[in-house]
Amino acid sequence: MRLLPADKNLRVLTVCAVAAVGMVGAAYAAVPLYDLFCRVTGYGGTTQVAQYDAGQIIDRSVTVRFDASMARGFPWEFEPQQRSMELQLGETALAFYRATNTSDRPITGVATYNVTPFKTAPYFSKLECFCFTEQTLQPGESMDMPVLFFVDPLMDEEESLDDVRTITLSYTFWEAGRDRDRAAPENAAGQTR
């Protein structure tokens, strides 16, 4: 049976429409799927969120360094209360960051985070963190913000991590609702990175 020109056009139109709908669907799914991929694999230094502590502590220690930065023009001071701490794998630790709103208006901020070296991300787990929710500070207000975490003892079983002695936990604060891709982060001293 031979297709008429109108039937061929309808077939081409149908294929194009299905392809267009598929591309739009893929575009909407891309961000949540990428976020899920990063959280599962630790890609890009994305840490894990844990419900329970590690359950065991082993005799290997790492130094965790703390870093703070802000989006350009973000009117807060933001810094870690400790520069580093040494802990054993599996040991739960509590660290604090301090934020101060230096503006004359209430500001709501949200923190993004990662760890370096990136390959340690699947083993760095947070039990509680100020980065899980938005933080609002009134003009001149300061707040000490906790992060409760551990480094999974399973890291010791990964040969590619035998050389890791130091892990850096970094946070960048942004004003909630602002486009994060357009603002370059600044370090705690206010210098653009």
What is the reported pTM? Answer: 0.67
pLDDT by residue, tens only, the chain of 193 residues: 565 666 777 777 787 777 777 666 655 554 444 444 444 444 444 455 555 566 788 999 999 999 999 999 999 999 999 999 999 999 999 999 999 999 999 999 999 888 899 899 899 999 899 888 899 999 999 999 999 999 999 999 999 999 999 999 999 999 987 654 444 455 444 444 3
Per the domain annotation, does 112 fall within a domain? yes
d(CA 103, CA 118): 34
Please tell me whether residues 142 and 65 are part of one structural domain.
yes
Per the domain annotation, does 143 fall within a domain? yes
Q: Dump strand ranges (E) for 3-101.
A: 48-49, 61-71, 76-80, 84-88, 93-101
- pLDDT at residue number 27: 58
- pLDDT at residue number 10: 77
Closest CA to 155 of 67, 35, 64, 24: 64
- pLDDT at residue number 36: 45
Per the domain annotation, does 146 fall within a domain? yes
Supply the DSSP symbol for 14. Answer: H
C-alpha dihedral over 9, 11, 16, 19, to 10 degrees? 180
Cα dist. 1→7, 13, 61, 96 in Å?
Answer: 12, 20, 75, 75
* Residue 128, strand partner residues: 148
Provide the domain count of the chain: 2
pLDDT, tens digit, for every residue of 51-72? 556 678 899 999 999 999 999 9
Closest CA to 169 of 66, 87, 61: 66
Please tell me whether residues 19 and 110 are part of one structural domain.
no
- pLDDT at residue number 48: 53
Please tell me whether residues 35 and 124 are part of one structural domain.
no
Greatest pairwise CA separation for the chain in angstroms: 80
Per the domain annotation, does 115 fall within a domain? yes
Please tell me whether residues 180 and 105 are part of one structural domain.
yes
- pLDDT at residue number 144: 96
- pLDDT at residue number 18: 74
DSSP 115-179: EESGGGGGGEEEEEEGGGS-EEE-TT-EEEEEEEEEE-GGGGG-GGGTT--EEEEEEEEEETTS-
Per the domain annotation, does 80 fall within a domain? yes
Please tell me whether residues 37 and 52 are part of one structural domain.
no
Closest CA to 156 of 112, 123, 121: 123
Range of the domain at 103: 48-187
Per the domain annotation, does 193 fall within a domain? no
Please tell me whether residues 114 and 20 are part of one structural domain.
no
